[in-house]
A = this chain, B = another copy of it.
Amino acid sequence: MRLGLIGFGNVGKDFARLLVGSNSIHCVVAIIASRGGVMGNGVGNCMDRDEIMNYVNKGIYNGTGGINIDDLISANIDVAVVSIPPNYGSGEPNLGIYRKLLSNGISIITADKTGLALDFSGLLKLANDNDAQIRYRATVMAGTPAIDLVRGLRGRSVRDIKAVLNATTNFVLTKIEGGSSSRDAIDLAVKEKLAEPDPRIDLDGWDAGAKLVILANELGFKSTLRDVKLTGFNVNEDDVRSH
């Protein structure tokens, strides 16, 4: 299959490395991120191992201009692998990217929750209408099969879900418990790239809320992030330690 990578941060680069390392039969023909992108061999050919690793090591911004999402679609890709930062405010450019890809019959594998958190039903319908698929098991608890588990409960009455869905919050609470200040713990989470560059996405509940919405929709409960009451991270350090 012809793949296009959208987003080329830690996750996108790790994916590219895995693909190179696994001698995948799939080929990467384009990589784009927020400030432009590249086509295989400049024209949308399959990238070879060296070309991919060059982009992984030196980045995709080489000063020769770049490509955008329309170019990527023109490159005739089968699947877009999406790992762009979330934007739970306006939802853009994420939502627009998903809709454009699916409308063009391009299937999506995404680690970004924005689209599904804001328009789960709409994107699934769009995929279905265009004979495309959208896969998103990486959006909730990464490698842990949380979505598989919930999917297996479809059709049953699930009354509530109790879950630690946000790793940053969990990490920060653990550090505070161990004697750290909130501030130091949060800084460390950002530094170790556990938290989003803007940690408020984690600490104000956006990330956990988006995950909950995806799980709820999996269970047939149509909802969006706008239906979720978020409670931010605001703890008394002494309370955490004496708990």
Residue ranges of A at the interface with B (Cβ–Cβ < 8 Å): 137, 143, 145, 147-149, 151-153, 156
Residue of B nearest to A156 (CB): B143
Q: How far is the CA of A200 from the CA of B152 in the complex (A)?
A: 30
Would you give the shortest CB distance from A21 to chain B, in whole angstroms? 14
Residues in B whose Cβ lies below 8 Å from that of A145: 148-149, 151-153
Residue of B nearest to A148 (CB): B152
Q: How far is the CA of A55 from the CA of B137 in the complex (A)?
A: 44
Residues in B whose Cβ lies below 8 Å from that of A152: 137, 145, 147-149
Residues in B whose Cβ lies below 8 Å from that of A143: 156
Residues in B whose Cβ lies below 8 Å from that of A151: 145, 148
Sampled A-B contacts (14; CB under 8 Å) = A137-B152, A143-B156, A145-B148, A145-B149, A145-B151, A145-B152, A145-B153, A147-B152, A148-B148, A148-B149, A148-B151, A148-B152, A149-B149, A149-B152
Q: How far is the CA of A145 from the CA of B158 in the complex (A)?
A: 13
Residues in B whose Cβ lies below 8 Å from that of A147: 152
Would you give the shortest CB distance from A141 to chain B, in whole angstroms? 10
Would you give the shortest CB distance from A35 to chain B, in whole angstroms? 33
Residue of B nearest to A155 (CB): B143
Would you give the shortest CB distance from A195 to chain B, in whole angstroms? 25
Would you give the shortest CB distance from A157 to chain B, in whole angstroms? 11
Q: How far is the CA of A147 from the CA of B151 in the complex (A)?
A: 11
Give 11 new A-B contacts, CB below 8 A, not counting A143-B156, A145-B149, A149-B152: A137-B152, A145-B148, A145-B151, A145-B152, A145-B153, A147-B152, A148-B148, A148-B149, A148-B151, A148-B152, A149-B149
**Lowest 10 CB-CB distances: which A-B pairs, in order?**
A145-B152, A148-B152, A148-B148, A149-B149, A145-B149, A145-B153, A148-B151, A148-B149, A149-B152, A143-B156
Residue of B nearest to A153 (CB): B145
Would you give the shortest CB distance from A22 to chain B, in whole angstroms? 11
Residues in B whose Cβ lies below 8 Å from that of A137: 152
Would you give the shortest CB distance from A143 to chain B, in whole angstroms? 7
